[in-house]
Structure 1
Amino acid sequence: MQRKTLLALTLVFILVVAGCTNGPLDGTPTPEQPSIPDGLSIHYINTGLGTSTLIEGANETILIDSGDWQDDGDHVLDYLRANGIARIDHLVSTHPDSDHIGGQAAVIEYFEEEADGIGAVYDPGVPATTRTYDRYLDAIETYDVQLYQTRAGDELPFAGADVRVLSPPEPYLANEEPNENSIVLQVEHGQAGFLFPGDAAEAGEEYLVNEYGNSMNVSALLAGHHGSKSSSSAALLDVTTPAVTVISSPYDSQYGHPHEEVLARLATRAIPTYWTGTHGDIVMRSNGSALTIATQREAPTEPARLRDGEPIDPETNEPVQPRTVIALSTGEAESPAGPDGGPETETGSETLSITEINADAEGTDRENLNDETITFEHTGSEPLDLSGWTVADDAGATYTFPAGTALAPDQELTLHTGSGSNSATDLYWGSPQPVWNNAGDTVIMRDGTGTVVLEEDYS
């Protein structure tokens, strides 16, 4: 009886505080054009079962969900502490399922007692009758954290990015079914757009498609419902046309996530896909015109080959490493400015060349991957830093040069397709299969901003 009274008071509190008005939830005016201070980082945390995403701006944070109840927030809190997060300004509970709000109570308790607090909690207002949900409400009440019922049309005030709530609408969808009424967030940072659909399925995605259509700016899509076949529909993929997709689920999911139907839809559209089950923690960094993607492990991103990767445990502490850069600009990029404000004298496009392409390895290609090579030469007069640069083929297979990679004047560097120990003159892609087409292909090299600096066809 006491719990029912607390639940009723809590839900009334949500309605009174937020009402049904649209716009910024703190009452501040909407900025006409958000600034882009120091970039935006999106951390897709490997929680195993469940999901949790940290959005980190210059001086502000959003945490969307906190993983499964069985973990009680441990993985998420470990990750936040390791990344120096002292405050959560916006804590979003997409819906009351225990694999999404499983750590909310622990997160609230930790940041209120041992760190710099929680700014506000955002909830769709659809209750549950689980102990996990009860603990979550108790933590909000105990620490007197601001609580908002959040609906389509609301905006979260966040410096440097535009954060909009796309769903749930008024009235609720599908008879208030929790998954379908997940809080759906769209985050825009310059030309970069990120969509977080919670566990929205058929009804939730149909609403998004019909209500917003291709007006949704989606560079990166977090696959709904952990890659369930009921989500990431063809209609949603076709109107959002994401450049990349992330799936949050364990390698050995008891529910079979990601489902083959979803992987087939992604494969048909050739959407590179990252999976916490094999890539581990996934971090995307936006500068407003390009995304740099880093992961704990290198693993296949072709949807049909995701399961070829090795499983990674959420407790793995390996740091993320940059894997690729996705250019978002459709116009020609300007040359970066030099120290005096003028153009750089050497950009790589002027001094970097390919001296040899050996696509046809001796013997069987798959058994001699390190004989499949590309050799680059730097002809400039100053060292050329290749850190974070990428090489890709025409099909989109991409290699990212490790941090600290540099070419001295007149130095050659050979990239081998297989595995080995990197040196100053030889790097190893680590691909389990051939990359370069024997009959002809295109070598595309981009710098750290995503600008194409070298493109060469061979046949």
Structure 2
Amino acid sequence: EVIDYYETEADGIGAIYDPGIASATRTYEAYLDAVEAHDVTLYRTQAGDEIPMENTSVQVLAPPEGYLAGEDRNENSIVVRVGYGNVSTLLPGDAEVAAERHLTGTYGEDLDATILAAGHHGSNTSTGPGLLGATTSRVVAIQSAYDSPYGHPHHELLARLADRGIPTYWTGVHGTVVFETDGRDVRVFTQREASTDPADLRSAPGVQPGSTDPLESRQTFGAERSPDRVTVRADGGAEGGPAQSTSLAVAEVNEDAAGHDGENLGDEYLTFRNDGEETIDFSGWTVTDEADHSYRFPDGTTLAPGETLTLHTGSGTDGDGHCYWGSGRPVWNNDGDTVFVRTDEGTLVLEVTYDG
């Protein structure tokens, strides 16, 4: 329907870029039929390709050669980073956990983007902590209907965005959203005026698809921003620098417990080590994974210099260098995951990715 619309009622389609993964679904067959019927140029594209656009950098960051996650279509969405002057936009398509882990592991801070489109229409399986930490975006845009049958955007994503204080535009309440830039400043236009606080989006009235309300300017901001990555001292104070503790380290990740993971949760664990010279006070600090499972250290939890602290996924009694998550199921993926540690104020202290 999209191809038919643009070819018959709009300005047409110059080209289509496709990851090259075939499907036997009727939707995919209809898509190929429309491409053929309208004689639209179809390109297979992957990481490393560039899409030509005058005075603009359009880089394809994913999928990689060989694909990800058994050629899962969402995990192998085309991910594009668009750069113009000092302004950049990351468009991750329907990328989920495996794709985001690949992106952060491959590109790291090069993913930094002024504007971030939420993955998979705001699904809780996309736009995870790792991607948000790498992009450090000024604004996020979510494209989904107000009454999406899938419940998009999911409350888990909105909570992640709210925790980071990222202004968020959602087509479900703002209507059409347009970002306009001269390469230095970004101007945002929407059809409706509504809060951009992610925590408030669900309380705003919805905009029906096809609304003809005019676009109006809502916000203007510069592409350059103050540093938001910090080094946290052992006492929890913040200093300018990368988001990594100078003393806290992950000494071991035992993601694959002996036997069946779900039946031996006590043997799935992380071990932290204090490589500094001061005791670390973990009171209120949190540990999360890429799926945003979260554990909060009890008040009074400390780690002396040179000592280790093991966090078990299962249940038990805290003490003697051991803490227990109390989860009823495995947390750490056997095929790779990312460990995030944050202070009680939400400052990122440590980010460690393992491959499994």
Give the TM-score normalised by the residue count of structure 1.
0.48
Q: 2:142 aligns with which of 221, 228, 247?
A: 247
Contact 1:284/1:293 (8 A) holds in 2: yes
Amino acid at match of 1:141: E
Pair 1:233-2:233 in alignment: no
Distance 2:175 2:209 in 1: 7
Distance 1:143 1:308 in 2: 42
Residue 160 (structure 1) shift? 1.8
Q: 2:204 aligns with which of 284, 302, 309?
A: 309
- Write out aligned runs for 1:405-424 (5 A): none
Distance 1:323 1:305 in 2: 17
Pair 1:221-2:116 in alignment: yes
Distance 2:127 2:89 in 1: 14
- Write out aligned runs for 1:1-20 (5 A): none
- Write out aligned runs for 1:233-382 (5 A): 233-329=128-224
Residue 253 (structure 1) shift? 1.8
User: What is the aligned partner in structure 1 of residue 47 from structure 2?
Assistant: 152
Contact 2:92/2:117 (8 A) holds in 1: yes
Distance 2:219 2:62 in 1: 31
Pair 1:136-2:35 in alignment: no
Contact 1:285/1:292 (8 A) holds in 2: yes
Query: Root-mean-square deviation (CA), in Å?
Result: 1.6
User: Partner of 1:314: helix, strand, or coil?
Assistant: coil
Distance 1:225 1:186 in 2: 16
Q: Give the % identical residues.
A: 48
Contact 1:272/1:301 (8 A) holds in 2: yes
Contact 2:82/2:88 (8 A) holds in 1: yes
Stretches of structure 1 that go unaligned for 5 or more consecutive residues are 1-71, 73-102, 332-459
Contact 2:104/2:111 (8 A) holds in 1: no
Amino acid at match of 1:222: A
108 and 125 in structure 1: CA distance in 2 versus 1, 3 angstrom threshold: farther
Please list every run of at least 4 consecutive aligned residues from structure 1 whose deviation after the TM superposition is greater than 6 angstroms: none
User: Partner of 2:75: helix, strand, or coil?
Assistant: helix
Distance 1:255 1:142 in 2: 31
- Write out aligned runs for 1:30-45 (5 A): none
Contact 1:191/1:288 (8 A) holds in 2: yes
Pair 1:171-2:54 in alignment: no
Pair 1:125-2:20 in alignment: yes
Distance 2:150 2:103 in 1: 25
Q: Which has the larger radius of gyration?
A: 1
Stretches of structure 2 that go unaligned for 5 or more consecutive residues are 227-356
User: What is the aligned partner in structure 1 of residue 3 from structure 2?
Assistant: 104
Distance 1:182 1:173 in 2: 10
Distance 2:94 2:31 in 1: 19
Residue 107 (structure 1) shift? 2.7
Q: Deviations over 1:362-384 (max 9, x none)?
A: xxxxxxxxxxxxxxxxxxxxxxx
Distance 1:140 1:215 in 2: 34
Distance 1:107 1:136 in 2: 13
Distance 2:164 2:58 in 1: 27
Amino acid at match of 1:273: T
107 and 220 in structure 1: CA distance in 2 versus 1, 3 angstrom threshold: same
Amino acid at match of 1:104: I
User: What is the aligned partner in structure 2 of residue 446 from structure 1?
Assistant: none
Residue 109 (structure 1) shift? 5.0
Give the TM-score normalised by the residue count of structure 2.
0.61
Amino acid at match of 2:125: S
Residue 125 (structure 1) shift? 0.5
User: Partner of 2:103: helix, strand, or coil?
Assistant: helix
Distance 2:101 2:167 in 1: 23
Give the length in aligned residue pairs. 226
